Chain A
Amino acid sequence: DIQLTQSPSFLSASVGDRVTITCRASQGISSYLAWYQQKPGKAPKLLIYAASTLQSGVPSRFSGSGSGTEFTLTISSLQPEDFATYYCQQLNSFGPGTKVDIK
């Protein structure tokens, strides 16, 4: 089974900051990666699929890139509503999550 790791596991940032989260796969997965945002008490919300395709309705400050074994989720200018936990996913595996907190 493919294992996904995320870094950092926690990051503290301010409104307006550029934030980058990395997801690494234990073997090459082409562009087979999705990103989700989860807020406390809520279901995960799809942000990006196929590594870089923005889901309809998701703000353009979110972007994804990468292929093979290394992928990134970037928030170009962090907004108050973006403080949440972010997960990457490929088929049956989820990454452990990255919590984005207010500095």
Chain B
Amino acid sequence: QVQLQESGPGLVKPSQTLSLTCTVSGGSISSGSYYWSWIRQPAGKGLEWIGRIYTSGSTNYNPSLKSRVTISVDTSKNQFSLKLSSVTAADTAVYYCAREELRPTGDWFDPWGQGTLVTVSS
């Protein structure tokens, strides 16, 4: 079955760019009508959707983060990536990647990666 795994630095300095990659295994990132999303969760808080990408390259971003977010896909590596610029301590969170299924009956995220903690600190 499809599995997702996040990777990237666990510590980023304020004002720098957070960069994470999600590697998809057990299936091709290009197969099926799926979107690929990033979601984050600050410690002790709820879930916040960051954005999604389709394998065609089309993207949607959370309006509150749009000016700082870029999501890209590399189908040859079966990966998609997140870049979040000008980070502050408020961007400290566990970052998850997830596959999103978008159907006429609804949309849902499954499966999810295990999550990776990114701390913004000098």
Contact = CB atoms under 8 A, between A and B. Distances in A.
Is B one of A's binding partners? yes
A50 B102 CA distance: 10
A1 B103 CA distance: 19
Interface of A: 1, 31-34, 36, 42-46, 49-51, 53, 55, 87, 89-97
B18 to A, nearest CB: 19
Contacts of B110: 46, 49, 55
Interface of B: 46-49, 60, 62-63, 96, 101, 103, 105-115
A71 to B, nearest CB: 11
B45 to A, nearest CB: 9
Contacts of B105: 31-32, 49-50, 53
A66 to B, nearest CB: 12
Given A43-B113, A43-B115, A49 B48 contact: no
Given A43-B115, A87-B46, A94-B46, A51 B62 contact: no
A89 B106 CA distance: 10
Contacts of B96: 43-44
A33 B49 contact: no
Nearest to A85: B46
A49 B47 CA distance: 17
Contacts of A44: 47, 96, 109, 112
